[in-house]
Every structure is written in C-alpha cells, then in structure tokens.
C-alpha cells in the first residue's frame, strides 16, 4: 500500500512538473511574442530602441490597450463586442466637442453611454440574444451618433487631457508606464477581488454559478458596463494624443481589440482572459502597426499583415503547446 502510494505521488509530481511547464509557457507566450517583435525592430533599426523611439512607436498604445481591456471584459462573459471601435470614435467626438465646450454635459453623455452598454448586457442576457448581431447593430448607432456630434473632422481635446497625454516622465516613456498601470489595476480588479472571481466564473461555468445563487444578469451587466467604461477611457486617451477628432477615428479598433485579447492569451469561451496579457497583446499590435516601421525597411503595406501573421503564429504556437500538455 505504502509503496503503491509512493509510486503514485512520484508519478504525479513529474506529471505536475510537465503541466506547470506547459502552463508557464502558455502564460509567457504573449510576453515572448512582444519580445520577438522588439528584437526584430532592434535588428532592423537599433536606434529605435530609445526613449524617443519608444515614445514614437508606442504613440497609440494607450488607447489600443484600453480598448483591448474593454473587449476583454466582454469576452470574459463569453460574448463579443463588434461595436467597440465605433464606440471609441463616438467617445472621441464627444471628448473633442462637448467635454471641452460644456464639460458637465460631456460627462453626462459619457456616463450615459456607459449606461447604454450596461443595458445592452441586460438585453443580451434577458432576451438570450447573440451578442455579435446586437453589437453589430450598435456599431452603426455609435457611428451615426459620432457623425451627428461631429459632422466634419475637427474639434479640440480639453487642455487637461492634452497635458496628461503629453506627460514625459524621466527614463521610461509614458505609454509604457501607462500600459503597465492599466494592466496592473485591471489585473487586481478582475483577478484578485472576490467579485472579479464571480465575473470570470460567469464565463467559465455559468450553470454552476447560477446554482450557487449568483445572478447571471448582474454579472453580464457589470461586464458590459466595464467594457463601456474602458471604451470611454480609450476614446478620451485617443483624442488626448491626436488632439482633434474624426467620426471614423476608432473604426479599426474593433478588430485590433479582439486580436489583442486573443494575442494576450484570452480565449473566446470559458472565461479565460488575462488583463496583463491583453495589455501586452495590445502593445505588440501597436508596435507592429506603428508609424516608425515605415522608416525601417518595412513598407507600410505590410504592417496590417504583420498583425495577422503575429496572430496566426501565436495561435499556432498555442496549439503546439496544448498538444504537448496532453
């Protein structure tokens, strides 16, 4: 008996070791892909690896990271938001107009739009609707509203926002600090707090959560409201950088945000998401699409392809790792 149980513990510890290694590898994959992209940039143009180079390359990293976090909350609940890009554009237009000219009304509009997101979560849960179609419709709505708010490109960001986004801390470029901060705050909120567990559980095994007495309606509302909140932050950050707005300014963010979540180790179903991974994924995509690449022998034509290729390579690597786990 003793011999047998000794034997099993020995075997299981080896088994656990292999499993832990594979898990570690899976967890490090987003960071590895970021490192790989950085290496490629350093190889192509060593001068890019500098305070100035990073500030330039990661110019748009903050809004992309925030939009990715917004998408991540929706994906954590097994849904998908196809409207986050146009929502970011709408927020941008409001920021460049109302928020500057009549701050109080601007704040009310932005809070109201977060409320709309919460209502969408409720609608999707109560009517059991496919989120893809609902958010697809909403993407038209946000774009329409954006054009109504700002028919022609223009407007101006509030000065305090411009000041904030132009912040130049010593040694480490602002985008990196900000991204780190965003990742850590959301990580704490979603991965460490007791209600964060319930939110993630609602994606992992909704039936079990319901059986334990939690309201799935509430979790869905909270997840969508958080998505709205981070969408608002993303739109404001974007305008803080670009200084003026355009109704189409956020359109590309829908697909970028989905790609960022997946790059960061998130999965479409099962509540498996990682805030820090998502931020790293967003940084990777921001780098791969950064304007600086134009100055290094990469034709601008292929920047989008770089995003697609990174996505496919990372997913392929993930398949290989999970095969090893079996």
Partner 1 sequence: MTSVKSLLTKPWIWSFLGALLVWLATIAFTGGYGAGGMVTAALSLAVFTVIVGVGQMFVITLGPGNVDLSLPANIGLASAVAMKVMDGNDSMIVVGLLAALACGAAVGAANYLLIWALRIPPIIATLSASFIIQSIDISYGRGLQIKPPPGFADFANWQILGIPVLAILTVLFTIGAAIALQRMIYGRSVLAIGQNIRAAWLAGVNVGRIRFLTYTLSGALGGIDGALLAGYFRGANVDIGNEYLLASIAVVVIGGTSVAGGKANVPGVWGAALFLVLLLTMLNTFGVSAGVRLLLTGLIIVGVITAAGGQKALR
Partner 2 sequence: MPEGNADIIRLNGAEKHFGAVRALGGVDFHVGPGECVGLVGHNGAGKSTLMHMVAGTSTPDSGQIGVHGKVEDKYSVSRAQQLGIRCVFQELSLCPNLSVAENTRINHASLRGLGWRRKAAELIAAKLDEIFPGHSISASDIVGDLSIGRRQMVEVARAFTVIQDRLDLVILDEPTSSLDAHTAGQLLAFVRRFVAGGKSCILISHVLGEVLRNADRIVVMRDGKVVVTDAADAFDRDRLVTAMGGAEARQKIAAEVAAAKPGASPLRVRARPTAQKDGTDLVACAGEIIGLAGLAGHGQTDLLLAIFAAASRARTGIEVTAPVALVAGDRQSDGIFPQWSIAQNIGIRSLARLRNGLLISPQREAELAQFWQKKIGIRTPDMNNNIFSLSGGNQQKALFARALGSDAQIVLMDDPMRGVDIGTKLEVYDLVREEAGRGRTFLWYTTETEELDNCDHIYVFKNGRIVANLRRDELTEEKIIQSSFGDAA
Query: Which residues would be at the binding site for partner 2 (CB under 8 A)?
Result: 1, 4-5, 8-9, 12-13, 16, 19, 23, 192, 194-195, 197-198, 200-201, 203-205, 207-209, 211-214, 270-272
257 binds, among partner 2, partner 1, none (CB under 5 to 8 A by kind): none
The two structure tokens encoding residue 320? 């290989």
* 25, 321 contact by CB (below 8 A): yes
Q: If binding is defined by CB under 8 A, does position 108 make contact with partner 1?
A: no
104 binds, among partner 1, partner 2, none (CB under 5 to 8 A by kind): none
Q: If binding is defined by CB under 8 A, does position 153 make contact with partner 1?
A: no
The burial of 173, by beta-carbon neighbours within 10 Å (0-12 exposed, 13-18 middle, 19 or more buried), is given as buried
**According to DSSP H, which parts of the chain are helical?**
2-44, 51-57, 61-76, 84-96, 98-101, 103-126, 131-149, 159-165, 174-186, 194-204, 206-211, 216-242, 253-263, 275-288, 303-325
Q: Of the two residues 41 and 149, which places its CB atom closer to partner 1 in the complex?
A: 149
* 157, 94 contact by CB (below 8 A): no
What residues contact residue 180 under an 8 Å CB cut-off, 6+ apart?
Answer: 279
Q: If binding is defined by CB under 8 A, does position 216 make contact with partner 1?
A: no
Residue 273: what are its φ and ψ, rounded to 5°? -135, 160
Q: If binding is defined by CB under 8 A, does position 219 make contact with partner 1?
A: no
* Nearest distance, CB of residue 23 and partner 2, angstroms: 6
* Nearest distance, CB of residue 304 and partner 1, angstroms: 5
Task: Kindly indicate which of the ranges 19-27, 164-172, 179-187, 257-265 contains the residues binding partner 1, using the contact rule CB under 8 A.
Answer: 257-265
307 binds, among partner 2, partner 1, none (CB under 5 to 8 A by kind): partner 1
């Amino acid at each position: 008996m003793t011999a047998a149980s000794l034997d099993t513990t020995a075997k299981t510890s080896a088994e656990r070791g292999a499993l832990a290694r594979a898990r570690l590898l899976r967890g490090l994959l987003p960071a590895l892909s970021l490192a790989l992209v950085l290496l490629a940039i350093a190889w192509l143009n060593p001068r890019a690896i500098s305070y100035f180079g990073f500030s330039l390359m990661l110019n748009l990293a903050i809004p992309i990271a925030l939009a990715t976090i917004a998408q991540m909350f929706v994906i954590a609940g097994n849904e998908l938001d196809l409207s986050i890009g146009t929502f970011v554009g709408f927020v941008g237009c409001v920021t460049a107009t109302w928020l500057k000219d009549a701050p109080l009304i601007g704040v009310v509009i932005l809070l109201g739009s977060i409320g709309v997101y919460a209502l969408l979560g409720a609608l999707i849960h109560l009517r059991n609707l496919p989120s893809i179609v609902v958010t697809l419709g909403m993407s038209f709505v946000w774009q329409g509203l954006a054009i109504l708010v700002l028919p022609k490109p223009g407007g101006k960001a509030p000065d305090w926002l411009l000041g904030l986004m132009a912040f130049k801390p010593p040694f480490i470029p602002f985008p990196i600090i900000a991204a780190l901060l965003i990742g850590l705050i959301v990580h704490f909120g979603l991965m460490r707090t007791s209600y964060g567990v319930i939110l993630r559980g609602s994606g992992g095994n909704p039936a079990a959560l319901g059986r334990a007495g939690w309201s799935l309606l509430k979790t869905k509302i909270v997840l969508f409201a958080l998505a709205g909140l981070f969408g608002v932050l993303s739109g404001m950050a974007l305008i803080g950088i670009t200084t003026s707005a355009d109704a189409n300014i956020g359109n590309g963010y829908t697909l970028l945000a989905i790609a960022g979540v997946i790059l960061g180790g998130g999965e479409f179903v099962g509540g498996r998401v990682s805030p820090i991974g998502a931020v790293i994924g967003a940084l990777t995509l921001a780098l791969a699409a950064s304007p600086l690449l134009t100055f290094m022998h990469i034709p601008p034509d292929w920047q989008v392809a770089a995003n697609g290729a990174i996505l496919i390579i990372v997913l392929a690597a993930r398949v290989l790792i999970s095969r090893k786990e079996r």
